[in-house]
Structure 1
């Protein structure tokens, strides 16, 4: 009898232990599942929110930078094109206006001087119309005259020929022009001059149309900016009108 009670007691205890273990196992599984689902939902929500915000911020920054650079580039090209066009048109207008004004003034002055001279010559003849020019008239004549275009030929067409042709052309234009003879220590040279009514005596090299400095003691070529190896010191000079 006592043995039977012991067996029943052991069986009951074992059953309790088995039931407790089973209940613990079932509870553990249910708790794990419930905790996993709750943790997953909460973690997913937090992670999604953070990830969405981070991704949005990074995407926005990258998109803004790219869009800003693209917009700047397109805007710059468009602005440059319009600015270039506007600048060209404005520059053309100003340049044309300035060029026209200067060209018109120069052409008028030269045309007036040339027409005036020809009018005097044609109207009064050449006999007694020779006169000393103003400095401006002299410079206009030098610009119009073509003597400097002639070719220098040794022993055939030299400085004396340039000077004589220039003087003759000035005479035909109604101006008194002087033939200037320079004497060097070992040589000589010929040029021309005008006695202008407002600036006085000016010397002109007819081979180049340059205004020259002439005085006893100076080096004719070197002191006037030309390269010359021989002694070109002016010993004396004579003007033949």
Structure 2
């Protein structure tokens, strides 16, 4: 199995001034941790600013000025799926490992601007890739700060933290560049682009590993940015009728 030699991180952003600084700090810490234990592995980060009208651009620019691994991409899609795809296309165009057999050594790590990755995030993904995974499905945990406790309880009841879980989260997803390209990449759709890609990867026989060993903290907001995204799902949980518990 070809060992990973380069990691490229993609972060789609649409008006995330409240969360973006923390998200980028988490990614930088994860990149530092990976390169501390594997100095030969390069890391690049592309922040895809999609039609931002708040201070997200300024926050991202300050992070890029402080860390040369970070670059910015301006788009006008209003679509997380298209933004992820554009970010990866930009990274592939700039990376010498993006073509031919070398693309097996390039890892594409994805997260969201309202999420905070753990320090071992990239180490965990790269470790699983080096052990044979073509894609890694990490777990997420909603940030309880400011979140309705009943919605949080319902979410935990449906999403136990365990290995080999059945869930796909764009906020915690990695894929080998060769597998990504052979599967057609993220489809150009407004939501569930991550699920669609994972279904294609599995259909084509790639090794997909689901794990709770690199759990990402993500916003528990119910004001959805994507029509059928994580926030919309949490909102739907809150609207479910309460179930009476028999004593």
TM-score bin, normalised by smaller chain: under 0.3
* Structure possessing the higher relative contact order (Cα contacts under 8 Å, 6 or more residues apart): 2
TM-score by length of 1: 0.27
Q: Which structure has greater strand proportion?
A: 2
Q: Which structure has greater helix proportion?
A: 1
